[in-house]
Structure 1
Amino acid sequence: MARAQQPSVSPWQQTIKRLLVRMGLKGCVLLLLAGTFYWFWLQTAVLLPVKQVSVTGVMQQVSSAELRDAVKPLLQDGLIRMDVQAIRDAVESLPWVSGVRVRRQWPDTLALEVEEQQLLARWGDDALVNLRGELFYPSRIEVNATLPRFDGVDGLSQTMAEKYQQYQSMLMTVDLSIAVVKVSERRAWVVGLANGIELVLGREPQSQRIQRFITVYRRDLAEKAERISRVDLRYSNGFSISWKENKVG
């Protein structure tokens, strides 16, 4: 009986087999290296624990202890594996914190560079306004009594902050300062000055009306300021004055 003939293996088939064997060996080596690296990565929480939290920045309302308490639960994974974004979010969730820079500092320190909120005004009775016109809600509000008060509509805090700073700069030229800014649902503005005079500005153009008041105040009204209760500037080319009771003359 004739013997079955073995199929011949071509040179290119032998080459492919050798390549597959080599690739398999390299794959095993790479898998082993990846596994070793991952094991070391898992050990970094033990090998490189966070032992210190360094806090820098000018702070008057938030304490270093509050900041450390906020990040403490997020340090369990060690210096390498800790989630920097989660730490940033935790710190910035504190009402008095405006921003924070988070850095790893070898070999065992988390560094926090904190920027505290810079106050511009009070917002009603339960919130504060920072220099960017953003509202924040601290658990306690203990601020300087001379801080101006904003009473306005939700969503207008940034506009009120911008215009307050503009009007305050204008009024300082005649030694006046703003104590209260009110904006109604109809976007009508009233500005209360620290000397007790109330300026009724209405809607646009408020800046022109402020300038008209400044011109007349400098020329005629400064010496009568103690007698003035209210100045209505909503007229096109003039204004009306309400005098305090028993002070006419």
Structure 2
Amino acid sequence: MLDRVMVRGRAVPPEPPRRRGATSLEPDGDGFNPLRELFAAVPWLQVGLGAVVVVLAAMVPWGASEVLTTLDRQIMAIDVRGELVGESQIELERQVGQWVGRSFFATDLAEVKQALEQRPWVQSAAVRRVWPDRLVVDIREKKPLAYWNQDQLVSRSGQLFQPGNREVAGRLPLLAGPDERVSDVIAMARTMAETLAEKGVGFAGLTLEPRGAWTLLLANGIEVSLGRDLVELRFERFMAVYQEQLAPRADEVQRIDARYTNGVAVQWKPLDESSGNKS
């Protein structure tokens, strides 16, 4: 037996008839749209984040500048520190005083350092900022080793300098010679001074003449001519003769010439009229 089922539904109106050759102006929902496809392909989230990063990066220098401008102050004081012998605390403070009143942040510390290191006694200057309005300068002076020629000093590092008050260096040996030979003179002086000290003899100075001749000065005032050649050998010969024969009469000796092959020549001091003896 067959069951008949009737389904009722809304009547679908037929499409209106189209004129022959006419086209429809209605958009096709599934058609290709280039602009829409282009926008859909762009990763807008990444683009937005990138734009934010660029803007923030551009604002950082401006913001930092604004912060420094807000925090900046004038330098109100400069402290000068260091163990000073040749330098004057007052003169140093007077020189650095030209930076008082300048910008705390904008002041070039390298400029301050360079200006101070031009002073004869200054070996190095370390400059630092101390918030909110102060600079601190640590000075290290040159350490003099000896007097050099007539108007200079030579430091322990072999650096020549010419202060106006070299006498404050105190009692030091006197070295002399061409400026370009200063390292040679120092090396020779150190060797001789060590040998003399081992024998209990004081070292007072050493001179290198422009033509290359060496002259040793002992602490007791005796000059020793060593010449240009075989200087070390002649110095050893002088030491042997001096220790064996001349040391007991050192106060009578004025000059010793060690340029001879088999000995030395001695120049005695003039007779002391008051005692009638050589002195």
* Preserved contact between residue 146 and residue 179 of structure 1 (Cα < 8 Å): no
Determine the structure 2 residue equivalent to 1:216. Answer: 241
Determine the structure 2 residue equivalent to 1:187. Answer: 212
Segments of 5+ residues of structure 1 without an aligned counterpart are none
The AA in structure 1 aligned to 2:177 is G
Question: 1:162-173 residue pairs with structure 2 within 5 A?
Answer: 162-173=187-198
- CA distance in structure 2 between the aligned counterparts of 1:13 and 1:71, rounded to whole angstroms: 65
Determine the structure 2 residue equivalent to 1:112. Answer: 137
The Cα offsets for residues 47-99 of structure 1, whole Å up to 9 and x where unpaired, read as: xx433322332212212222223333346231x44433322222221111222
Structure 1 residue aligned with 2:82, among 46, 57, 74? 57
- 1:77 is aligned to 2:93: no
Question: 1:24-35 residue pairs with structure 2 within 5 A?
Answer: 24-35=51-62
Determine the structure 2 residue equivalent to 1:156. Answer: 181
Question: 1:60-139 residue pairs with structure 2 within 5 A?
Answer: 60-74=85-99, 76-78=102-104, 80-139=105-164
Are the structure 2 counterparts of residues 205 and 99 from structure 1 closer, same or farther at C-alpha, using a change threshold of 3 Å? farther
CA displacement at 1:14 relative to structure 2: 1.5
| Bigger mean CA deviation after superposition, 201-210 or 58-67 | 201-210
| Bigger mean CA deviation after superposition, 59-68 or 171-180 | 171-180
Rg (Cα) greater in structure: 2
TM-score normalised by the chain length of structure 1? 0.80
| Bigger mean CA deviation after superposition, 141-150 or 223-232 | 141-150
* Preserved contact between residue 124 and residue 139 of structure 2 (Cα < 8 Å): yes
- 1:40 is aligned to 2:59: no
Aligned pair count? Answer: 244
Determine the structure 2 residue equivalent to 1:225. Answer: 250
- 1:20 is aligned to 2:53: no
* Preserved contact between residue 85 and residue 168 of structure 2 (Cα < 8 Å): no
Are the structure 2 counterparts of residues 84 and 14 from structure 1 closer, same or farther at C-alpha, using a change threshold of 3 Å? same
Name the SS of the counterpart of 1:229 in structure 2. strand
CA displacement at 1:42 relative to structure 2: 3.9
CA displacement at 1:204 relative to structure 2: 5.4
Name the SS of the counterpart of 2:179 in structure 1. coil
Are the structure 2 counterparts of residues 223 and 95 from structure 1 closer, same or farther at C-alpha, using a change threshold of 3 Å? same
Are the structure 2 counterparts of residues 197 and 2 from structure 1 closer, same or farther at C-alpha, using a change threshold of 3 Å? farther
- CA distance in structure 1 between the aligned counterparts of 2:52 and 2:24, rounded to whole angstroms: 41
TM-score normalised by the chain length of structure 2? 0.73
CA displacement at 1:35 relative to structure 2: 0.6
Name the SS of the counterpart of 2:210 in structure 1. coil
Query: Cα RMSD between the aligned structures?
Result: 3.1
* Preserved contact between residue 133 and residue 160 of structure 1 (Cα < 8 Å): no
Segments of 5+ residues of structure 2 without an aligned counterpart are 1-22, 26-31, 272-276
Are the structure 2 counterparts of residues 22 and 221 from structure 1 closer, same or farther at C-alpha, using a change threshold of 3 Å? same
- CA distance in structure 2 between the aligned counterparts of 1:32 and 1:175, rounded to whole angstroms: 75
Name the SS of the counterpart of 1:30 in structure 2. helix
Q: Is the helix fraction higher in 1 or 2?
A: 1
Determine the structure 2 residue equivalent to 1:178. Answer: 203
Name the SS of the counterpart of 1:33 in structure 2. helix
CA displacement at 1:164 relative to structure 2: 2.0
- CA distance in structure 2 between the aligned counterparts of 1:207 and 1:45, rounded to whole angstroms: 64
The AA in structure 2 aligned to 1:87 is V
- Relative CO higher for 1 or 2, CA cutoff 8 Å, sep ≥ 6? 1
